[in-house]
Amino acid sequence: MKKILPFIIVLAIIVVSIVILAKILHPRQKMTPSEKARSIVLRKVTEKAQSELQYADKDFADAAREIAHYELTSDSVRNILQGLLTRQSFIVDCCIVDTNGIMIVVEPEEFKSFEGSDISDQAHVKKIHQTHKPIMSNAFIVVEGFQAVVIQYPIFSGVNELIGSLSMLIRPDSMLVDIIKPIIKGVPVNIWGMQKDGIILYDRNEEEIGKNLFTDEMYKPYGNLLALGEEIIANDNGYGSYIFLSDTMIEPIEKLCFWETVGLYDMQWKLVLTSILSGIEAPKGSKKSIEYIKKNLKDFIQQTDLQEALSENDEENIKKCFENFYNIYPYIYSIQWTDTSATNRFGFPAEHSLSNYSYRETRDGINEQYQDFISAVENKKSTVFEKILPPAGGDSAIFILEPASSDESYFGIIYVMILK
């Protein structure tokens, strides 16, 4: 027994190690098309935000080196500060701070009255005097009433002696909204930002900016959000779900989220993409998921690029539009087009779609199995129905049909197929 016990212990350790390693190497199953689309959107935002921070870092470093060639209170230095303000739209003001912590030059003109102010007791000023390295501060509320962070860059003399620092006051919300808004335009997601202590840097709901996820009363009723917040802080990227208020801030809803990390110097920002889980990810084939797809299919049909492609019978661009829809919305087996003659032209993906298949042409005349398609085309009417797919006893599928037309023309129906 004494000989067997060590062997059992070693075996147990090996098994546990394999399980842990498996979780690390295979942290999640393959993403669905809709999840992949969301992760691509977040990656674009993350890459743009990191690029902006790195560009700003280089710009500040170049400015600090140039400033070192002049008297710190000279007009030449003011011109350099004004150039920074022109190039970096998210800077509120920038200044030169001497080694005593005194703001000796401040731009733009409207903030010049702050020249002579002593900020030596601020944490970032103390730190740059200790380390002689660039620093980005935590967010704080400035006297003007908005949230800001400070970026400071050391200025060295020709003999590598610290003679002051270049300090920029920036608004994270201004920076992030300029990056996020164009990328997510038309996509049913939201992106919010948080620093590692839980302070919300940016959210579409401005009421949340400046609040702390872990301490503010607004978030305390939502324990799973707080738990996920800890996961977000602890990991550079990941995914999960949580319950919190909708955009109207009235009713709680479940949200799916992905997050990534950007940063400058030793400061990190967490960017979190969310979408409504209760509608987007409702149980497959449920009334809620059908209503969600139906509404978005209607909106999709009215999009200008699809309308133009249908008007010009542009198969390539119609398929591109179909592919975009397929990638954004879940549970879709295919999205297809049946023209005014009740001929199914094509769909996406091609392997799940009928190509040039007439619902009318059968040996017995009208194909009773597909009378719903023919009626929808003829009546220009939206409809939802469920059918057993051939062969007999095959899968059941839900079909969501919507008429497609412009002011001048009727194109038939576009429909979504969802396997149950």
Token pair in block for residue 162: 């610290």
Q: Are residues 228 and 326 in the same domain?
A: no
User: Does the residue 16 lie in any domain?
Assistant: no
| 246 within domain boundaries | yes
Determine, yes or no, domain membership for 7. no
SS3 379: helix
Residue 91 in contact with residue 84, Cβ under 8 Å? Answer: yes
Residue 58's domain comprises: 48-171
Residue 41 forms part of a structural domain: no
Per the structure, the count of domains in the chain is 3
**What are the two backbone dihedrals, phi and then psi, of residue 167, each rounded to the nearest 5 degrees?**
-120, 130
Helix (H, G, I), strand (E, B) or coil at 116: coil
Asked, for residue 5, whether it belongs to a domain, the answer is no
DSSP letter at 32 equals: P
Sign of the Cα pseudo-torsion (276, 277, 278, 284, in order): positive
161 and 197 in a single domain? The answer is no
249 and 306, same domain (yes or no): no
Is 0.85 surpassed by the pTM of this model?
A: no
Residue keyed to tokens 């009433």: 145
Q: What pLDDT score was predicted for residue 31?
A: 63
Are 291 and 409 part of one and the same domain?
Answer: yes
Is 129 a member of any domain?
yes
- Of the candidates 74, 63, 68, 95, the one whose C-alpha atom is nearest the C-alpha of residue 162 is 68
Whether 392 and 305 map to the same domain: the answer is yes
Backbone angles phi, psi at 340, to 5 degrees: -70, -15
One domain, residues 155 and 70: yes
* 39 domain residue, yes or no: no
Looking at the structure, tell me whether residues 313 and 201 fall in a common domain: no
Residues 180 and 261 in one domain: yes
DSSP state at residue 381: -
Domain final residue, candidates 279, 301, 331? 279
Q: What is the DSSP letter of 385?
A: E
CA nearest neighbour of 382 among 287, 310, 293, 280:
293
pLDDT in tens, the chain (420 residues): 444 444 444 444 433 333 333 333 334 445 666 677 788 899 999 999 999 999 999 999 999 999 999 999 999 999 999 999 999 888 999 999 999 999 999 999 999 999 999 999 988 899 999 999 999 999 988 766 789 999 999 999 989 999 999 999 999 999 999 999 999 887 888 999 999 999 999 999 999 999 999 999 999 999 989 999 999 999 999 988 888 887 777 777 778 899 999 999 989 999 999 987 644 444 455 666 777 788 889 989 999 999 999 999 999 999 999 998 888 765 688 999 999 999 999 999 999 999 998 888 764 554 566 788 899 999 998 999 988 776 545 678 899 999 999 988 999 999 999 887
Judged by DSSP in three states, 97 sits in strand
Asked if residues 384 and 401 have their Cβ atoms less than 8 Å apart, the reply is yes
